[in-house]
Structure 1
Amino acid sequence: MDGRTARARRTLRIISDAHIGLINDGELKPSAKQIAARAGVSVRALWDHFKDMEALMASTAARQLAEQDEAFNPVPVGLPLAERVAAYSWQRAEILEAIAPLARAADLQRPFSEALQQNLQENLNRIRNDVERLFEAELAGLDRGHRTRTVLSICAASDWANWKLLRDSLGQSVEEARAVVENTLTALLEGPTTGPENTRKQNP
């Protein structure tokens, strides 16, 4: 890496740090001037690295996802179901609380941002893959349609949109919201296994 590339990467990191810092301080839609001032760079330097605020938001969100992946410690699949559900609900609570400020800021732009929509889809894919890994023993006994519905229900219960509903709209504490997620997952994975819409594969 030559000196120019290294400086460019440092500047990108400084701008991203400033952006995240302002959002974490409650400024969900910081201006370019605010971000540049906090980063200690000129507004022109900011626009030299990002074509618009959408590009900056997408870059910051992608960085947070990458850091989240790097720090991710999967829940062991060998635990009993109740312990897996409890551990997973705590893990999701910690992640969702950590990303909450940036997620709230992204919500203000996401309907109009293709890049943020792509980041959202990538995050949902991560959640789905981990759900299928962690609860494969329970999912393996379901027919295809029921398996898909169960996986998607767990993903919906574990995602930011549900967490935001519990925390912001319903006024639940972190522990209360986490308990709701745990209860939901327990019901989905230990619930009724008979009936026309909820059947397990029968062993021959």
Structure 2
Amino acid sequence: MANNEAVEVQRHSDGRIARGERTREAIVEAHAELLREGVLKPTAKVIAERAGVSLRTLWLNFKDLETLLEATTAYWLDADAALRQAIDPSLPLGDRIDQFCRQHALRLEHLAPAARSAALGEPFSPALAAARRELIRRLRRDLLETFPAELEAAGGVDGALCLGLMAAASGMTWSFARDDLGRDAADATELMRHTFARLLRA
């Protein structure tokens, strides 16, 4: 009998944990959906309503806004990582430039809603600042893995070539092309590719 009771208690505990995880996932996904729709600074009440939970439930799962932002940035970073594909560094330079720019443009476009929102809150949020640092680290890594010979010959990670490529592929440059200049994603991608070609072949 004791064993049956222990199994029932464990099952109840597992079910409660699973429900809690589903609730947290629903809240994070609701937050992400609102950002995609252009609601760049949704309130906790709006997020809770979109997730179909009470405001009290939201704060039971996330103790404060920063904790929610930590979960949301992890969601976006995981999605970005899933879009990444390694590029063979032995391919001809032109092929590597094309593949890198197409892939990176896709990732930037995917992250754009979160980036627009983060620009409003980053000065006040350690989670958002940490997410930006992680994206910069990923960009530097991807450049070094895709263009190792070219970057090594031009001063490595601290050389002007690497810094120029990072600037050309940055979220800020993408936002400038897409939001400030009003270019579509294809034009913004071509701008990146053209800049890469000029820098890498100089």
1:66 and 2:65 matched: no
1:151 maps to: 162
Choose 125-134 or 26-35, whichever is displaced more. 26-35
Paired amino acid for 1:155: M
1:140 maps to: 152
Q: Contact 1:163–1:177 at 8 Å: present in 2 too?
A: yes
| Cα deviation 1:71-127 (Å, max 9, x = unaligned) | 321222222101111111111111111111111111110111111111110111011
Q: TM-score, structure 2 length as denominator?
A: 0.88
Report 1:155-174 matches (<5 A): 155-174=166-185
**Structure 2: which 5+ residue stretches go unaligned?**
1-12
Q: Distance in 2 between matches of 1:37 and 1:87?
A: 41
1:48 maps to: 60
1:29 maps to: 41
1:198 maps to: none
Shift of 1:53: 2.6
Q: Distance in 2 between matches of 1:15 and 1:55?
A: 12
Q: Which has the larger radius of gyration?
A: 2
Q: Which runs of 4+ in 1 moved over 3 A?
A: none
Q: Contact 1:22–1:30 at 8 Å: present in 2 too?
A: yes
Report 1:66-145 matches (<5 A): 66-143=78-155
Q: How many pairs align?
A: 190
Specify whether residues 72 and 143 from structure 1 end up closer, same or farther in structure 2 by C-alpha distance, changes over 3 A only.
Answer: closer
| Cα deviation 1:28-71 (Å, max 9, x = unaligned) | 11111111111111101101122333332232121111122133
1:195 maps to: none
Q: TM-score, structure 1 length as denominator?
A: 0.87
1:181 maps to: 192
| Greater fraction of residues in helix | 2
Q: Distance in 2 between matches of 1:142 and 1:32?
A: 48
2:21 maps to: 9
